Amino acid sequence: MTAAGAGGAATAFRARYGPWALVAGASAGLGEAFARALGARGLDLVLVARRADALDRLAADLRAAHGVEVRTLPLDLARPDLEAAVARAVDGLELGLLVYNAAASAIGPFLDRPLAAQRAVLDVNCAGPLTLCHLLGGPMARRGRGGLLLMASLAGGQGNPWLASYAASKAFEIVLAEGLWAELRGRGVDVLACRAGATRTPGFEASRPRAEVPLMAPEAVVEEALAALGRGPTVVTGRLNRLAAFLFTRLLPRRSAIGIMERATRRLYEGNAP
Ligand SMILES: NC(=O)c1ccc[n+]([C@@H]2O[C@H](COP(=O)([O-])OP(=O)(O)OC[C@H]3O[C@@H](n4cnc5c(N)ncnc54)[C@H](OP(=O)(O)O)[C@@H]3O)[C@@H](O)[C@H]2O)c1
C-alpha cells in the first residue's frame, strides 16, 4: 500500500472505531501490539493492565510516536467491581473500540491446580469480556458504530486436557462474540473473536514450553485481526493455524481432536508446568 493509501485507511479506521479505543491487557505481548497498531491508526487509547510502570512506558512511547492521547488504567480485570471502576475511568470519552486481550490460564492437571487459579480464569477470561462488552457496547450501539474484539484462541475449538478451564473460557469468548456479532451488526457494531494460535509473547515464554512450536509474531496476529473486524464473527490468524482449525473442528471426530490437544499440551508442559 502507498503511504497515501495507508493514511487513508488509518483515517477510515479511526472514523469507524475511534476516537478512543480501550485495550484490556495492554502492557505486554499481543495487547501491547494492539495498542501500537491502534496508535499508528491515530486512535486515542485507554490502556488497562495490572503493571502501572509498563503501561506508563508504553503510553509515553505512543504519545511520542503518534501524537495520540493515552490514559493508563492500572487495575486487575478480575476485580468484582470492574464495571464501576472502568465506567468511572472512561466517563466522558467516546470509546469506539474495545480490544479484550487479557487472559489467565492454569496449566497442568485440573485437579492439581487450586480452585482459586481456575476461578481466576473465569473472572479474567469470561466475566471480564462480558462486563466490558456490556459496558462499552451499549454506547456504541446507541451511536450506531464501533467494534468489540475479543482475543480468543484455537484452544477454544475443543476440550484441551491440561488447559481445560482456559480452553473452556476461550470457547466462551468465541460463542459470546458470535452471538453479539449477529445481535449488533444491524446496529453498526462489529464484533469479532480472534482465534489465534501460538504467538511469541512474554506470556507464552513465561509458560516455559519445553518443545518448539511454530510461533507467529504478535504484530502479524494483530494486523490480521484488525483487518478481519467487520468481516464476520471470527478469524483464525495464520495459514498454518487455519489449516489446524479446519482439521480440528471440521474434519476430525471430536475425541481425536481432544486427544491431539492433550498430546501437544503434555509435550509442551509435562514435567515443567508453571
Ligand atoms: N501467546 C499465545 O500463544 C496465544 C495463543 C492464542 C491466544 N492467545 C490469547 O491472546 C491474548 C494475549 O496473550 P499474550 O500471550 O499476549 O498474553 P501475555 O503476554 O500474558 O499478556 C497478557 C496481558 O494481559 C494483562 N493481564 C493478564 N491478567 C490480567 C489481569 N488479571 N488484569 C489486568 N490485566 C491482566 C497482562 O498485563 P499485567 O501482567 O500487567 O496485568 C498483559 O498485558 C490472550 O487472550 C490469550 O488467550 C495467546
**3-class DSSP state of 111:** helix
The residue contributing the CA closest to ligand 1 atom 19 is 203
Protein residue whose Cα sits closest to atom 36 of ligand 1:
25
pLDDT at 209: 81
- Which stretches of 13-125 are assigned E, i.e. beta strand? 20-24, 44-49, 70-74, 95-100
**Cβ neighbours, 10 Å, residue 231:** 9
β-partners of residue 247 are: none
CA distance 269 to 174: 25
Indicate which atom in ligand 1 lies nearest the CA of residue 76.
32
CA–CA distance, 266 with 23 (Å, rounded to integer) = 32
Mutation test residue for ligand 1: of 27, 53, 56, 123, the one with most atoms within 8 Å of CB: 27
Residues paired with 190 in a beta bridge: 147
Catalytic residue among 17, 100, 166, 269: 166
Q: How many residues in total does the chain contain?
A: 274
Per-position pLDDT tens, the chain of length 274: 676 677 889 999 999 999 999 999 999 999 999 999 999 999 999 999 999 999 999 999 999 999 999 999 999 999 999 999 999 999 999 999 999 999 999 999 999 999 999 999 999 999 999 999 999 999 999 999 999 999 999 999 999 999 999 999 999 999 999 999 999 999 999 999 999 999 999 999 888 888 788 899 999 999 999 999 999 999 999 999 999 999 999 999 999 999 999 999 999 888 776 6
Helix (H, G, I), strand (E, B) or coil at 235: strand
Point out the ligand 1 atom lying closest to the alpha carbon of residue 194: 7
Q: What is the distance in A from the centroid of ligand 1 to the CA of 53? A: 16
Q: Whose CA is nearest to atom 17 of ligand 1?
A: 203
Asked if 166 is an active-site residue, the reply is yes
Closest protein CA for atom 15 of ligand 1? 203
Return the number of other C-beta atoms located less than 10 Å from residue 210's C-beta.
Answer: 12
CA 231/CA 145 separation, integer angstroms: 14
The set of residues, in sequence order, having a beta carbon less than 8 Å from that of 32 and lying 6+ positions away, is: 26, 58, 218
Residue pointed to by grid coordinates 473473536: 193
Output the pLDDT for position 206: 86
d(CA 199, CA 149): 18
Three-state DSSP at 51 gives: coil
Q: 105 alpha carbon to ligand 1 midpoint, in Å?
A: 9
Looking at ligand 1, which atom is closest to the CA of residue 215?
A: 3
Helix (H, G, I), strand (E, B) or coil at 199: strand
Strand segments (E) across 77-155? 95-100, 146-153
Element (H, E) at 61: helix 52-66
Nearest CA to ligand 1 atom 41: 50
What is the Å distance from ligand 1's center to 49 Cα?
9
Identify the residues whose C-beta falls under 6 Å from ligand 1.
Answer: 25-31, 49-51, 54, 76-78, 101-104, 124, 151, 153, 196-199, 201-204
pLDDT 10s digits, 93-115:
999 999 999 999 999 999 999 99
What's the pTM value of the predicted model, to 2 decimals? 0.97
Asked if residue 101 lies in contact with residue 173, where contact means CB atoms within 8 angstroms, the answer is no
Atom of ligand 1 nearest to the CA of 26: 43
**Roughly what angle, to the nearest 10 degrees, separates helices 128-143 and 164-184?**
10
Counting from 1 in the atom list of ligand 1, the atom nearest the Cα of 155 is 6
Task: Give the Cα separation of 199 and 219 in Å (integer).
Answer: 10
Name which of 150, 119, 182 is nearest 34 in CA terms. Answer: 150
- Ligand 1 centroid–CA 186 distance in Å is 31
Distance from Cα 112 to the centre of ligand 1, integer Å = 23
Distance CA 103, CA 105 (A): 7
Nearest CA among 35, 16, 13 for reference residue 24 = 35
